């Protein structure tokens, strides 16, 4: 049975890195996945994605795994939408 909201682990919903904080040449960490961009430019550049296998095994064994994974994936998708919207529409976030 899933833990109540008050008893969830601090890592709940954070399996993936928060890509809105991505900086060139700095490792970005989520609970079970990490990402790093070494070069920027057009096309595929130097980037590294890793699964922290020990952390992943703990995630899979957690009683809140399914809902945590769903929340983590939703946050990842929303972050992607936000970043793509800001790139395609630079006026987003600019005052009136």
What is the full per-residue pLDDT of the chain (96 aa) written as tens digits? 455 677 788 999 999 999 888 888 899 999 999 999 888 777 657 889 999 999 999 999 999 999 999 999 999 999 888 888 877 776 666 665
Query: Contacts for 50-53 with beta carbons within 8 Å, 24 or more apart?
Result: none
User: Is 95 within the bounds of a domain?
Assistant: no
Query: What does the radius of gyration of the chain's CA atoms come to, in whole angstroms?
Result: 16
User: Is 31 within the bounds of a domain?
Assistant: yes
Q: pTM of the full predicted structure?
A: 0.76
User: Is 87 within the bounds of a domain?
Assistant: no
How many helices and strands, by DSSP H and E, does the chain display?
2, 3
User: Is 86 within the bounds of a domain?
Assistant: no
**Domain of 75, in residue numbers:** 9-81
User: Is 49 within the bounds of a domain?
Assistant: yes
The total number of structural domains that make up the chain:
1
């Amino acid at each position: 049975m899933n833990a109540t909201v008050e008893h969830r682990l601090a890592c709940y919903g954070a399996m993936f890195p928060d890509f809105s904080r991505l900086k060139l040449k700095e490792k970005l960490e989520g609970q079970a996945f990490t990402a790093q961009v070494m070069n920027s430019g057009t096309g595929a550049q130097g980037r590294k994605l890793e699964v922290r296998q020990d952390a992943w095994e703990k995630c899979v064994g957690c009683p809140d795994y399914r809902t945590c994974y769903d929340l983590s994936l939703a946050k990842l998708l929303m972050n992607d939408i936000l970043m793509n919207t800001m790139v395609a529409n630079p006026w987003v976030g600019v005052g009136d």
